Amino acid sequence: MSNHSFKEYAIGSSVEQIIEGLGFTNPTPIQQQVIPAALRGESLIGQSHTGSGKTHAYLLPLFNQMNEAEESVQFVVTAPTRELAMQIYNEVKKAIQLAGKDEVWRSSLVIGGTDKQRMIDKLSANPPQIIVGTPGRILDMVKEEALNVHHVKSFVLDEADLMLDLGFIEDVDQILLRMNEDLQLLVFSATIPERLQPFLKKYLVNPTQIEIKDDKPSPETMEHRLIALRHKEPADVIFEISKSIQPYLAIIFTNGKEQADELASSLLDKGLETGVIHGGLSPRERKRMLKELQNLRYQYIVATDLASRGIDIQGVSHVINARMPKEEEFYIHRVGRTARAGLEGTAINLYTEEDLPLIEKLEKRGLSFTFYEVRNGEWVEAKSYKERQKRTPIQSDLEKKAKRMVKKPKKVKPGYKKKMKQEADKNYKKLKRDSFRKKR
């Protein structure tokens, strides 16, 4: 519990009303550092994860600087996905209501998937003081001259690393080029990747740096279980795992929209209550899925990296990697989604030989992996990949040739690896027979 109080900050009565209405007593660690710096008008880079109180860390100072007499846009908050933008916008609306400023503080949600012309008309007729939205649609409105951002005082870039991954930094750049140079820029990101540095250096001169270490288990102290996939299908292994865990909500990560749909369908066929979230869903489908998640309809949700990082899914007790990611940072992000129930701080990973370089990199980073199999709903310790490698026989030339003879199908269907192996075994036996006949 923090010893700090919101009363320490030089905030007006309207913001005090918001804090009281929200039931906040003490500021969170990120709020303790961001609020005073933002109130002083400093530009800053804040590193913290979901659930740290980051949204109100920047919203409260912005509300405090509101000039009711000004009819132009004063603050812009950008988020990488529609869902995150909607979540932030809902907090803005709630705060305005609590402050009793419905008539004088105007806000607008500017995201794609809505009628563009209607949005242009609405923004032109009644300019809001606060804009919350996605960079692409905000830039559209600026180019259409429905929004004038020249007098904006503060600009918030939320989830900057995800903005980078999704390719939205260019849109943010285009928006910032149209703003005043003395703009207050508040950048928030779970990580600060090297690829983000050129953007930060372009717009921030000696910014205040704030980094909050989570109370959540760090990846180094978490339990990381590895299950060799071998020739099994991920859905079959996950179904076995489901017999040994009772998740409040388990996120099952995979790589790509098609894989996610296929896996979710297979798990549904096996009787597991499974939802799916990825960038290929329509705005209406995503909204419905998130609502069903909030209503606890699903125990399992299959997700891709980008969609899962752009959506705040509450109550995650287990993380299962049906497919390991390609990069270390994605793994750290995935396992960081575990919450406070069931196997707290446990990640379950299905791996193949292709994943061994990633696992070795993560081990060098300080992560410790334990090896298991799941048999009849029971966890059984298994030998590590290093021990198995010692016993792995060297493939003969005939075995290699037999494998090369197998053509990978154009359309990948469940069980294709098993069929390819069977075909390779058949080829090997035939090659062996032919070789034996030649020798005779």
**pLDDT tens-digit readout, 259-314:** 999 999 999 999 998 999 887 887 788 778 888 877 778 889 999 876 656 666 77
Cα–Cα distance between 230 and 396 in angstroms, integer?
20
pLDDT score, position 88: 92
Report the greatest alpha carbon distance in the chain. Answer: 99
Structure tokens that stand for 5 in this block: 């109080």
Helices 54-64 & 82-98 angle (0-180, nearest 10): 50
| Arithmetic mean of pLDDT over the chain | 84
Domains within the chain, CATH numbers bracketed: 6-211 (3.40.50.300), 223-391 (3.40.50.300), 397-435 (no CATH)
Position with higher pLDDT, 2 vs 149: 149
Contacts of 435 (CB under 8 A, 6+ apart): 398
Q: Is the pLDDT score of 147 beyond 90?
A: yes
**pLDDT tens-digit readout, 48-98:** 765 678 899 999 999 999 998 888 999 999 998 887 898 899 999 999 999
pLDDT score, position 307: 62
Per the confidence metrics, is the pTM higher than 0.85?
no
Q: Is the pLDDT score of 393 beyond 60?
A: no
Q: How many CA atoms lie within 13 A of 237 on its CB side?
A: 21
The closest of 373, 303, 309 to 79, measured between CA atoms, is 309
What b/e readout covers 246-277, taking b as 16+ CB neighbours within 10 angstroms? ebebbbbbbbebebbbbbbebbbeeebebbbb
Cβ 251 vs Cβ 314: under 8 Å? no
Cβ 109 vs Cβ 85: under 8 Å? yes
Letter for the amino acid at 85?
A
**pLDDT tens-digit readout, 212-230:** 865 444 565 578 899 999 8
Helices 328-335 & 356-364 angle (0-180, nearest 10): 70
**pLDDT tens-digit readout, 406-437:** 777 767 677 777 777 788 888 877 777 776 56
Residue percentage of the chain with pLDDT more than 90: 42
pLDDT score, position 217: 47
Cβ 227 vs Cβ 374: under 8 Å? yes
pLDDT score, position 265: 94
Cα–Cα distance between 293 and 288 in angstroms, integer?
9
Q: Is the pLDDT score of 246 beyond 90?
A: no
